[in-house]
A and B are shown apart, each in its own frame.
Chain A
């Protein structure tokens, strides 16, 4: 005999709930990891939609690192992706190796990524660091899917990132000229023990998209802004500032 079933709204909810309850729900830890992946996956496309590379300095490492640093929020290591996309799962797996707010050294990153590639059966992929990256350098990973290669690019450590966020905010809140901005950055960096760096006006101008109007107005007023961090072939960081007379 067919069963008679009356389904009111609550009963439908309970029936469907039984299906949902039969599955493993993501734990809070997993949710946090997913949130971290979502934030890092957007890379420069969200926070820095417009990165204008001035003059002839358009080296990939500079642009990538500049975009990374401008994402701010204490980020020290990220994963960059491009087209075509890397194999499904690889990108997310590598991202998890780079917790935000931590410095992952090049040697450690190389080892971890190689293990991950082996675990995923991607033996035809390789890991390589860009010029100037030493074993202890904090790095981020970029995918060059066409060459089946993961490239390690330098990024600032958490202390420098935090300091430069403060510099960026100060330069936006005050109106400093080129010399004053240079002096501010020098004093902040030396204050946290940084001794080998260059400050330059010959670099990319990058900014969070929502700040575009404010940044342009600030520059138009004759003020300098902190625009990006790059790395030279020797691995030395270059801090770029931008202003109307740069």
Chain B
């Protein structure tokens, strides 16, 4: 994929994500829970890119993703003192992000294709196909797919983030992969090559 601007195309390796046992992250959470703003800033810098990555793919709109990230952070700051298991902070903050994304999707009209983040990418055609396949998945499968594979969370963390049993995560991600593969195998239909991009609904 062509790189257009270093900031927007820095490679992202889920393995480089702060882990639940990361001592720096744990310390940031502990401080933030006590009302320490510096701790919260550290937490945001550590986890913000992860949350944004989920939101921008889920919402397919950079502005909405940043607004939803802001809303997520506000809710996180308010809710941190009540977080009982600080080691679950990644899945906990993603739970909030999933809820905020759902709220945005319910409230906004469908997006046109030229509004999608990938519209200006050199490989836009291929990206539109991926986007279409993703958007044709049921919302709960889509969330599972994004949290598990885009963000690289474990199945257990994905289950926590989505508030579903572990077995449900396994079945949803497995079915989602099969469905996505099947969708990408299809030849695009003529009516699918034009027109708007429907926001997923719940």
Interface size on A, residues (CB 8 A): 45
Cβ of A22 < 8 Å from any Cβ of B? Answer: yes
Asked whether, in the complex, the Cβ of B177 is within 8 Å of the Cβ of A12, the reply is: yes
Report the separation of the CA atoms of residues A203 and B69 in the bound assembly, to the nearest whole angstrom. Answer: 38
B45: chain A residues at CB < 8 Å are: 28, 31-32, 35
Asked if B69 and A34 make an inter-chain contact with CB atoms under 8 angstroms apart, the answer reads yes
Contact assessment for A38 and B8 in the assembled complex, using a CB-CB cutoff below 8 Å = no
From the candidates A13, A23, A46, name the one contacting B152 in the complex (CB within 8 A).
A13
Bound Cα distance A41, B90 (Å): 22
Evaluate contact between B37 and A25: CB separation under 8 angstroms: no
CB interface residues, A 88-113, toward B, < 8 Å = 92, 100
Q: Give complex CA distance A27, B8 in Å.
A: 9
Neighbour of A24 across the interface among B1, B8, B126, B184, CB < 8 A = B8
Instruction: Tell me, yes or no, whether A39 is within 8 Å of chain B by CB.
Output: yes
For A20, A22, A24, A72, which residue has the most chain B Cβ atoms within 10 angstroms? A22
| Count: A-B pairs, CB below 8 Å | 152
Chain A, residues 211-225, CB within 8 Å of chain B (1/0): the string is 000000000000000
Contact of A92 with B70 at beta-carbon distance under 8 Å, contacts A5-B181, A5-B185, A19-B130 already known: yes
Provide 28 A-B residue pairs closer than 8 Å at the C-beta atoms, listed in order of the A residue. A3-B184, A7-B181, A8-B177, A12-B145, A12-B177, A16-B134, A18-B118, A19-B131, A21-B9, A23-B8, A23-B57, A25-B7, A25-B10, A25-B52, A26-B52, A32-B41, A34-B44, A34-B73, A35-B40, A35-B44, A35-B48, A36-B37, A38-B40, A38-B74, A38-B76, A42-B77, A73-B35, A209-B81
At the interface, yes or no: A83 with Cβ under 8 Å from chain B? Answer: no
Q: How many whole Å from B32's CB to the nearest CB in chain A?
A: 10
Specify which of A12, A23, A34, A39 is in contact with B48 (CB 8 Å cutoff).
A34
Question: Which one of A16, A23, A28 contacts B146 once the chains associate, using CB atoms below 8 Å?
Answer: A16
- Nearest CB of chain B from residue A223's CB, rounded to whole Å: 22
Contacting pair A20 B12 (CB below 8 A): yes
Is the CB–CB distance between A47 and B35 below 8 Å? yes
CB distance from A15 to the nearest CB of B (A): 5
What's the least CB distance linking B56 to chain A, in Å? 4
Do residues B177 and A38 form an inter-chain contact, with CB atoms below 8 A?
Answer: no
Residue A45 at the B interface, CB < 8 A? yes
Q: A234 on the interface (CB 8 Å rule)?
A: no
Q: How far is the CA of A42 from the CA of B74 in the complex (A)?
A: 7
Considering the complex, which residues of chain B in the window 113-162 have a beta carbon less than 8 Å from any beta carbon of chain A? 117-118, 121, 123, 126-127, 130-131, 134, 145-146, 148-150, 152
Q: Are A39 and B37 neighbours in the complex by a CB distance under 8 Å?
A: yes
Name the CB-closest residue of B to A27: B7
Which of A7, A16, A24, A31 is within 8 Å of B150, CB to CB?
A16
Complex partner residue of A7 from B36, B76, B78, B180, CB under 8 angstroms: B180
List residues 63-120 of chain B with CB under 8 A from any CB of chain A: 65-66, 69-70, 73-74, 76-78, 81, 117-118
B33 → A minimal CB distance (Å):
9
Chain B residues, CB < 8 A from A25: 7-8, 10, 49, 52-53, 56
Q: Is the CB of B57 within 8 A of A16?
A: yes
8 tightest A-B CB contacts, nearest first: A23-B117, A22-B118, A35-B44, A16-B150, A38-B73, A13-B149, A7-B181, A31-B48
B62 and chain A: residue at smallest CB distance:
A23
Tell me the complex Cα distance, A34–B53, Å. Answer: 16
Task: Find out whether the CB atom of A22 lies under 8 angstroms from the CB atom of B127.
Answer: yes
The answer to whether A37 has its CB under 8 Å from any CB of chain B is yes
Complex Cα distance, B54 from A117, in Å, reads 32
Q: Known contacts A9-B149, A16-B145, A42-B78: does B131 contact A35 (CB below 8 Å)?
A: no
Closest to A46 in B: B78
| B41 / chain A contacts, CB cutoff of 8 Å | 32, 35-36
In the complex, the chain A residue whose C-beta lies closest to that of B182 is: A5
Within 8 A of B (CB), among A35-89: 35-39, 41-42, 45-47, 72-73
Decide: B149 and A19 in contact? CB cutoff 8 A.
Answer: no
Q: Does A124 contact B (CB under 8 A)?
A: no
Chain A residues contacting B5 (CB-CB under 8 Å) are 24
